[in-house]
Amino acid sequence: MATPAETDIAVKSISPYGKARSTVSGAPLAPDELKKIDDYMRASLYLCLGMIHLKQNPLLKEPLKVEHLKARLLGHWGSDAGQIFTYIHVNRMIKKYDLDAFFVSGPGHGAPAVLSQAYLEGTYSEVYPDKSEDEDGMKRFFKQFSFPGGIGSHATPETPGSIHEGGELGYSISHSFGAVFDHPNLISITMVGDGESETGPLATSWHSTKFLNPITDGAVLPILHLNGYKINNPTILARISHRELEALFIGYGWQPYFVEGSDHETMHQAMAATVEKCITEIRGYQKKARDSGKAFRPFWPMIILRTPKGWTAPREIDGHFLEGFWRAHQIPIPDIAKNKKHFAIFEKWMRSYEPERLFQDGRLISELRELPPKGNSRMSANPVGNGGILRKPLHIPDFRDYAIKVARNGHALGPSMENMALFLRDIIAKNQTNFRVFGPDETQSNKLDGIYAAGKKVWMAETFEEDADGGNLAFAGRVMEMLSEHTVEGWLEGYLLSGRHGLLNSYEPFIHIIDSMVNQHCKWIEKALETEWRVKIASLNILLTATVWRQDHNGFTHQDPGFLAVVAQKSPEVVRIYLPPDGNCLLSVMDHCFQSENYVNVIVADKQEHLQFLSMPDAVIHCTKGIGIWEWASNDKDAEPDVVMAACGDISTQEALAAVALLRQHVPDLKIRFVNVVDLFKLISAADHPHGLTDSAYSAIFTADKPIIFNFHSYPFLIHRLTYKRPGNTNMHVRGYREKGNIDTPLELAIRNQTDRYSLAMDALQRLEGELHNRGAATREALLDEQIRMRNWAFEHGTDPDEITNWVWPY
């Protein structure tokens, strides 16, 4: 490649106007077919304008009046034409090659495009019979759009054929890849907005081709829509030189084919030829790989489509640009209800699509109805768009078979995560085409590398000799690792939404990177629950490890257990949070999560060796209840306790137990009840979450009047948030991470946040009443001395004393 000269930059970007300019030449459409395709596009555009503007007079049978307009005009016109144009040309290919294709609408608020197509294909009326293919149905179809009580301007869960809402930008490519993994015949037609292309998640997701196997996976055909403008700005990709644009996508590993212009006839010919070129290339690569049995990574084809923003709108109004400018982004002419001249322009524009010719009694004329494919071949009716239909049950071995032997409670350390990896390995082994594990380069660090025995890491980029030395890379595998939390989360979401199962594993601190993506997935699931025809999908399972209390050595940036608070803000119908205290509980919780549907399950468990508390039968009971008194760790049998020591989280539980042991050693007659919480939402009122305990059940565990010392894995306020209404809530003293840390030992980190055994024991003594309180004073002094001795030892030696690290329950 030649060295670019600075003058290259001075080359004017390409105008979106004029006759088509395209990489692929050819004019495959006969005049009659071209005319029909253009008419079909015009019918679709008419519907877009209708749904954005009209609540009455849908076919413009009467002269348009202001009272036919919605009072508040909402929706986005800007990307509709380009999306419709693409959709229709793909339809032609679906029919010609009997493709299994579906459509992902990436640009924000681009729903009119896909809604209008679903309506023209008849799918919309099948799913929503009141939106029938007649004048009344069309009126309802128009009115509901962006109207109170109706549907939104994104491809929301209510949209037939959609698995990608596009409310937040940047995930279209990663969702599409997720959907085509292990769907070898599926092609995701993915419109990518040039606005969303500026987002980080989208910018890196182009590299997904390094993880796509042409034998076992389907294909993604991206159409980068150089629509030119965002809300109020030009887009970067529409304003760089042709040479940079082409180089960028070759650099990303794609073969870009350009289609640019605005002239309908030549644009249809160019797009028809280009889409066919792409489809035949995709099928050719797949055939070559499948025939030979040898996977390889081709430069997969993609289309760069440059058309004017708001294509087919008036170019100029009152000396201001409309079509081809950012003013066409949302409502093209916002003041039509108040400006007569603009109202007239609008009516003329709407009528220019000739509704009276294209629709008969509100139904598309029959010669155009023949254009799209039929039945499930329609992109709006592809079963992938309602992935729950396709979902096969996961074959899960009996998790009890992986039990860690626990002869005595809390007497030995064990590798909870490494052990769970064996369970996970066997799930992978039994589900080789519909289960994958996703993560950002941390699977091995997270002690889950046992799973590679059943499924290696997919890697379609180059391999070196060294990779044979424990690299675990393969063309075909079950583990997906890329150092982009956004991309792996997007892949997993696409994989689940298209009817499969999976797990994301991540370091706890960096899961905040995808806060917003998880929020959006929660919202999708909640709306899907309200959409009757949507079949449930597998839950999104997020396993958080490398947790805060063992991030002492990585320092302050790696200490953030706050994702739980983000998740807890979402709808209780959708979110679940589990903190299994040990290895057997982790197995039980994972089994439960894998069987669940339509949830976001967050599981927090550290990856290091930790104390094992419960035998498998006890773990099953404990996890089923989600919360419970551990009698073996309590000495309040047949009596009221003096104090309740509670814990949630593996390391938190260990420190709380050690605190109990210290208390019993120093104040043997103190009655202590030990409570452990696995299912965080047990703490909240039953009125606020389906898992919540009743107040009486809560009080039976925590008492209504005794001091409670609660050692929590995350920020302490989350517990107060959950329990503020509970009886005795003023007795609740929560310890957790308080944003105190640096390069520490585990004990020092805990001490800084007052979650260590000594602080907890001192806390408990402090809260006692009367004589016990007075007696506790000397013990508090002794505990403080011991705490100081331990931390000084650690500062000198650089590690915690063995008696801390290898502490076991002494009873």
**Number of residues in contact with a copy of itself under rule CB under 8 A:** 146
CB distance 544 to 566 below 8 Å: no
> What is the nearest approach in angstroms of a copy of itself to the Cβ of residue 676?
22
The residue (of 40 and 249) whose beta carbon lies closer to a copy of itself is 249
* Interaction of residue 729 with a copy of itself, rule CB under 8 A: yes
The DSSP secondary structure of 96-148, one letter per residue, reads HHT-EEEEEE-STT-HHHHHHHHHHTTHHHHHSTTS-SSHHHHHHHHHHBTST
Look at phi and psi of residue 126 and say left if phi exceeds 0, alpha if psi is from -120 to 50, else beta: alpha
The residue (of 600 and 629) whose beta carbon lies closer to a copy of itself is 600
* Interaction of residue 19 with a copy of itself, rule CB under 8 A: no
* Interaction of residue 426 with a copy of itself, rule CB under 8 A: no
> What is the nearest approach in angstroms of a copy of itself to the Cβ of residue 288?
8
Which range in 258-266, 331-339, 393-401, 743-751 contacts a copy of itself by CB under 8 A?
A: 743-751
Q: Rounded to whole angstroms, how far apart are CA atoms 228 and 235?
A: 6
* Interaction of residue 547 with a copy of itself, rule CB under 8 A: no
Which range in 263-271, 480-488, 602-610, 701-709 contacts a copy of itself by CB under 8 A?
A: 480-488
Q: Quick one: which of 743, 777, 778, 784 contacts a copy of itself (CB under 8 A)?
A: 743
Burial of 63 (0-12, 13-18, 19+ CB in 10 A): exposed
Find the binding residues for a copy of itself in span 83-102 (CB under 8 A): none
Find the binding residues for a copy of itself in span 121-150 (CB under 8 A): 146-150
Look at phi and psi of residue 729 and say left if phi exceeds 0, alpha if psi is from -120 to 50, else beta: alpha
* Interaction of residue 277 with a copy of itself, rule CB under 8 A: no
* Interaction of residue 456 with a copy of itself, rule CB under 8 A: no
* Interaction of residue 320 with a copy of itself, rule CB under 8 A: yes
* Interaction of residue 553 with a copy of itself, rule CB under 8 A: yes
* Interaction of residue 248 with a copy of itself, rule CB under 8 A: yes
The encoded tokens of residue 6 equal 């600075």
Closest CA to 744 of 808, 684, 698, 798: 798
> What is the nearest approach in angstroms of a copy of itself to the Cβ of residue 23?
8
Q: Rounded to whole angstroms, how far apart are CA atoms 345 and 332?
A: 11
Which range in 130-138, 505-513, 651-659, 670-678 contacts a copy of itself by CB under 8 A?
A: 505-513
* Interaction of residue 799 with a copy of itself, rule CB under 8 A: yes
Beta bridge partners of 438: 480, 504
Q: Are strands 479-481 and 600-604 parallel, antiparallel or unpaired?
A: unpaired
The residue (of 440 and 583) whose beta carbon lies closer to a copy of itself is 440
Binding mask 327-366 for a copy of itself (x = CB under 8 A): ----------------------------------------
* Interaction of residue 418 with a copy of itself, rule CB under 8 A: no
> What is the nearest approach in angstroms of a copy of itself to the Cβ of residue 778?
27
Beta bridge partners of 659: none
The residue (of 149 and 375) whose beta carbon lies closer to a copy of itself is 149
Buried b vs exposed e over 378-414: b needs ≥16 C-beta within 10 Å? bbbbbbbbbbbebbeebebeebeebbbebeebbebbb
Q: Rounded to whole angstroms, how far apart are CA atoms 63 and 582?
A: 72
Which range in 404-412, 469-477, 668-676, 769-777 contacts a copy of itself by CB under 8 A?
A: 469-477
Find the binding residues for a copy of itself in span 173-232 (CB under 8 A): 195-196, 198-205, 207, 210, 230-232
Q: Rounded to whole angstroms, how far apart are CA atoms 473 and 583?
A: 28
CB distance 564 to 577 below 8 Å: yes
Find the binding residues for a copy of itself in span 392-411 (CB under 8 A): none
The residue (of 630 and 702) whose beta carbon lies closer to a copy of itself is 702
- DSSP-based three-state secondary structure for 74: coil
Closest CA to 484 of 281, 717, 674, 201: 201
Binding mask 747-766 for a copy of itself (x = CB under 8 A): -x------------------
Which range in 79-87, 356-364, 531-539, 566-574 contacts a copy of itself by CB under 8 A?
A: 566-574
Find the binding residues for a copy of itself in span 705-724 (CB under 8 A): 715, 717-718, 720-721, 724
Q: Rounded to whole angstroms, how far apart are CA atoms 564 and 576?
A: 10
* Interaction of residue 808 with a copy of itself, rule CB under 8 A: no
* Interaction of residue 8 with a copy of itself, rule CB under 8 A: yes
How far CA 657 is from CA of 611, 650, 718, 722, 782, in Å, comes to 10, 11, 21, 23, 18
